[in-house]
Amino acid sequence: MYKPLRLETKAKTRFDSNALYNKFLELFDSEPLLVRSPGRINLIGEHTDYNDGFVMPAAIDRDIVVGINFSQESHSTLYSVKHNEFFSFHTTNPEKVSSPLWANYLLGVVRKFIDKGHAVKSFHCVVDGDVPTGGGLSSSAALECSFAFALDHLHKFDIPKLQLILIAQWAEHHYVGVMCGIMDQFASMMGREGKAFVLDCRSLEYHYFPVDMKECSIVLCDTMVKHSLASSEYNTRRLECEQGVKIIRERYPEVKSLRDATPDMIENVRDKFTGKVLNRCVYVVQENQRVLDAAQDLEKGDLKAFGKKMYATHDGLSQLYEVSCPELDFLVEASKNTNGVLGSRMMGGGFGGCTINLVLKDEVKSFISKMAASYLDKFKIEMAYYIVSLKDGTSLINTSHLK
Ligand code: GLA
């Protein structure tokens, strides 16, 4: 059993879904079903999910909320509050579109429902939320998951959550173009209040452990940048890992993915790798082991050791896997000169977004102000920050008090 990781928590849901409910009424003159799905953090285990490895995510107190109800028309209409934009499509033909891009997250989900034989009827849908986009908190997975859950619930198809997770991931692959692993959708759908979990991305077995937030906080520092190579480089990393597996398999046919590779195996075929593939494989194999070791740190209640592993992960992501950027590297480096920081690293796909920091509660204020000041000084950009607490995954929002 894992000992609680001691971190600060604030138990509240921020997003005001009443406004979304009223917007829906105003636009479509009917009462919507409301579904929320949270963003996620990942304590450790980055770029391991699509290598069949281990991750340690949790759902957070920021949601994407979807309002939905049937429509009597032959087409369906989507409305994004954030973009103040409508999009309509023939319900039986949810084609991928070049604009607006936000619609593709939903269209992909509809496509997969239909392909799986579910008779989707026309609907109206309104989308809003407070998961920052481009921040590496998986606003896209949160959108896919809340919509998939809402579409399912509206039609009473009764599709199991695991299937909805896979549908959401399919939408990301085929309608958004990012060949993501399973972590984000899984965390958004399956998160638990006050808990993180270790997920085995091969078997999809998972176990929750409590994150007791008394001593430390989880603070996310948002670089406010998202470099444009993010999705193309992401897909390239995935291909590089597959190339690595091919090379290792020539000597070790039992290796089905980097999850199965060991440092010795890699060492024994090191002269067969070309380009950066060796470094990519070394990172993934190390990171998988790090997640397992980090889980033991938590079991022992050794947050210092856990924090050190966060730094080691960052070094690997920056130097071997090459998915960091100057802004992220700067924030992680700066954290080392700040009191009360146990660990810091870039989080998520990379090339921008947030760092995740484990900070002693008493030092949180001064940590944030020091980081913000030095970031502003260096990049002339105002850093955003989020002190997160852990929440339940995708769920219906009770609207009975609104009716
Ligand atoms: C993105 C992807 C995830 C995962 C992370 C990196 O968030 O969507 O599947 O690969 O990057 O760990």
Q: Could you tell me the distance, in angstroms and rounded to a whole number, from the CA of residue 352 to the centre of ligand 1?
A: 13
311 neighbors 332 (Cβ within 8 angstroms): yes
Instruction: Give 276's contacts (C-beta < 8 A, 6+ positions apart).
Output: 240, 322
- 9 pLDDT higher than 50: no
Q: Ligand 1: which atom is nearest the Cα of residue 45? A: 12
- 53 pLDDT higher than 90: yes
Q: How far apart are CA 77 and CA 94, in angstroms?
A: 11
Q: Could you tell me the distance, in angstroms and rounded to a whole number, from the CA of residue 171 to the centre of ligand 1?
A: 15
Query: Is 184 annotated in the active site?
Result: yes
For the CA atoms of 147, 150, 156, 160, the dihedral, rounded to the nearest 10 degrees, stands at: 60
Amino acid at 321: Y
Query: What proportions of the chain, in percent to the nearest 5, are helix, strand and coil?
Result: 45, 25, 30
- 4 pLDDT higher than 80: no
- 249 pLDDT higher than 80: yes
Predicted confidence (pLDDT) per residue in 294-347, tens digit: 999 998 989 999 999 999 999 999 999 999 999 999 999 999 999 999 999 999
Residues with CB under 6 A from ligand 1: 46-47, 49-50, 138, 180-181, 183-184, 348-349
- 368 pLDDT higher than 70: yes
Q: How far apart are CA 299 and CA 83, in angstroms?
A: 44
CB atoms within 10 A of CB 20: 22
Kindly calculate the radius of gyration of the chain based on its CA atoms and give it in whole angstroms. Answer: 21
Q: Ligand 1: which atom is nearest the Cα of residue 49? A: 10
pLDDT at residue 213, as a whole number = 77
Which of 47-56, 64-73, 203-212 shows the lowest per-residue confidence on average (mean pLDDT)? 203-212
- 370 pLDDT higher than 60: yes
pLDDT at residue 80, as a whole number = 98
Closest residue by Cα to atom 2, ligand 1, is 180
Site to probe by mutation for ligand 1, drawn from 47, 51, 176 as the one with most ligand atoms within 8 Å of Cβ, is 47
Predicted confidence (pLDDT) per residue in 91-122, tens digit: 999 999 999 999 999 999 999 999 999 999 99
Mean local confidence (pLDDT), 19-47? 97
Mean local confidence (pLDDT), 174-187? 97
Length of the chain in residues, anyone? 403
Q: Ligand 1: which atom is nearest the Cα of residue 48? A: 12
The string of DSSP codes covering 164-180 is: HHHHHHHHIIIII----
